Amino acid sequence: MRKRKIELAVISDTHLGTFGCHAEELLTYLNSIDPGILVLNGDIIDIWQFRKRYFPRQHLLVIKKILDMAAKGTEVYYITGNHDEMLRKFTDIKLGKIHVVNKLVLNLSGKKAWFFHGDVFDASMRHTKWLARLGGWGYDLLILINRVLNKILLFLGKERYSLSKKIKDSVKKAVKYIHDFENVAADLAIANHYKYVICGHIHQPRMIRKVNKHGTCLYLNSGDWVENLSALEYSGKRWELYYFKNDKLSPFFADQDLKKMDYKELLTAITITPRI
């Protein structure tokens, strides 16, 4: 399958190392594109929920794939989030084409784009982190239950169903939180003369024009790879919101070497620093 060449791809909230991560679909997507820049906008590896007994081969394959993309010339920016906040101690470290940052500003066709995860706007992250961590475990359990439910639904020939998405969409407080999050991000972007603001964190893929009395900007959110399986793509001065469910991709491996590697070989390949 021919890879799509794009200028920039943004993914966030993959939560590698948790039951909810759709690593196989994510790997399929990464194998289908050839981006000049790949922005990993936070919560890529879920260090909060990390378990020694659970880190499947597919999750390692995603990490290896990203390293290989960097080795082949893709500029990779890893923006830290709340679930991988331990990486913030390595901020501004650069390993070849891989950059670890807390935020990022890029010039896209003469317009400034501001990238950050978004947990800075979340009061629970700042004041009651223990509650946020507890909520993370509960969310992970809900996703595990949802996976069992979806297996039953697929067996019965019915469509998948997202319990967490249904709960979020039906709870007024959650809807208000998402709306407020978008407005705060957009207002800050406009105040700082950014034309694009790109976030993650709330697992809500979005692309909407925001306007206030001081100006306008385009608010974008890359969504996640737990519920929505979404990404953002930029090429030819245009943004597009990508959904895996709308694509015609079937699971494939563009890199046969990856397909042949066993678990131990993958661990070795990831932990030994590559020449990028």
Top pLDDT among 158 and 40 is at 40
> Is residue 190 within 8 Å of 215, Cβ to Cβ?
yes
What does the mean pLDDT of the chain come to? 83
pLDDT tier at 274, thresholds 50, 70, 90: low
Q: Is domain 4-271 given the CATH code 3.60.21.10 in the classification? A: yes
> Is residue 14 within 8 Å of 43, Cβ to Cβ?
yes
pLDDT for 270 equals: 76
Digit-coded pLDDT (tens) for 87-123: 888 898 999 999 999 999 999 999 999 999 998 775 5
Pairing of strands 98-101, 75-79: parallel
CA angle 210–127–184, rounded 5-degree value: 5
pLDDT for 239 equals: 98
Digit-coded pLDDT (tens) for 121-176: 755 444 444 444 544 555 666 666 777 767 776 777 777 766 566 655 554 455 56
